[in-house]
């Protein structure tokens, strides 16, 4: 399914130009800052759920604490929920990698033991390297979205592909920090002569 097909129902209620501009902005954000955007969204969304839960718990169990207790419950719940949201991203990337490795391995090996071991190993790799993987995945998702946006603007498919691929590679380069220069090592100072 392409983005134009998915956005077709909105075209009647939202101006097409505004929708395309919004989609273009989202695609560029995903390409160049997708990892940060996903983390901020996960922190905020799960944090709001945590704040609601914190407020509920304080009102039920610490009803006499007043507005200060309610405020602490909301803030504590928001922070704890936000941290859980970030951890869920790591686990989600691990589960996706582990499951993909499991399915891939079942195509070549009969039985379930080896595919489960391979899936578990890739789950661990996904959890450990989720930050790098998330940057690449969000840049790729943004690149596909950018390609669809260019097609919606009526740009030639070949040119759209070239531009989307170049921007995706640039986005991976930026998100993975390859653009940061490594400072040259500082030579130790020579001892002062007497």
DSSP string over 110-122: SSSHHHHHHHHHH
pLDDT for 176: 85
pLDDT for 60: 85
pLDDT for 14: 60
pLDDT for 187: 60
For the entire predicted model, the pTM comes to 0.72
Work out the angle at residue 33's Cα, subtended by the Cα atoms of residues 46 and 39, and round it to the nearest 5 degrees.
Answer: 15
Question: Using an 8 Å Cβ cutoff, are 69 and 58 in contact?
Answer: yes
pLDDT for 152: 86
Q: How many CA atoms lie within 13 A of 118 on its CB side?
A: 16
pLDDT for 6: 61
* SS3 label, residue 139: helix
pLDDT for 116: 95
Least Cα distance to 166 among 182, 177, 150 occurs for 150
pLDDT for 153: 84
* Low-confidence residues of the chain: pLDDT under 70: 1-16, 178-194
Helix (H) or strand (E) holding 103: helix 66-106
With the C-alpha atoms ordered 9, 10, 13, 18, is the resulting torsion angle positive or negative? negative
The rounded distance, in Å, linking the Cα atoms of 89 and 50 is 16
Question: Using an 8 Å Cβ cutoff, are 168 and 139 in contact?
Answer: yes
């Amino acid at each position: 399914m392409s983005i134009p097909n998915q956005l077709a129902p909105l075209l009647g209620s939202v101006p097409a130009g505004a929708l395309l501009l919004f989609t273009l902005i989202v695609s560029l954000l995903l390409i160049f800052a997708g990892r940060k955007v996903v983390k901020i969204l996960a922190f905020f969304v799960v944090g709001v759920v945590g704040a609601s839960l914190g407020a509920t718990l304080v009102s039920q169990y610490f009803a006499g604490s007043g507005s200060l207790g309610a405020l602490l419950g909301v803030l504590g719940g928001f922070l704890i929920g936000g941290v859980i949201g970030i951890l869920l991203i790591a686990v989600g990337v691990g589960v996706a990698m582990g499951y993909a490795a499991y399915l891939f391995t079942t195509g070549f090996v009969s039985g379930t033991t080896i595919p489960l071991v391979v899936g578990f190993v890739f789950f661990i790799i996904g959890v450990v390297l989720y930050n790098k993987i998330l940057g690449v995945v969000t840049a790729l998702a943004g690149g596909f979205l950018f390609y669809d946006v260019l097609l919606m603007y009526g740009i030639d498919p070949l040119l759209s592909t070239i531009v989307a691929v170049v921007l995706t590679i640039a986005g991976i380069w930026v998100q993975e920090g390859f653009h940061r220069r490594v400072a040259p090592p500082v030579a130790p100072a020579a001892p002062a002569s007497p």
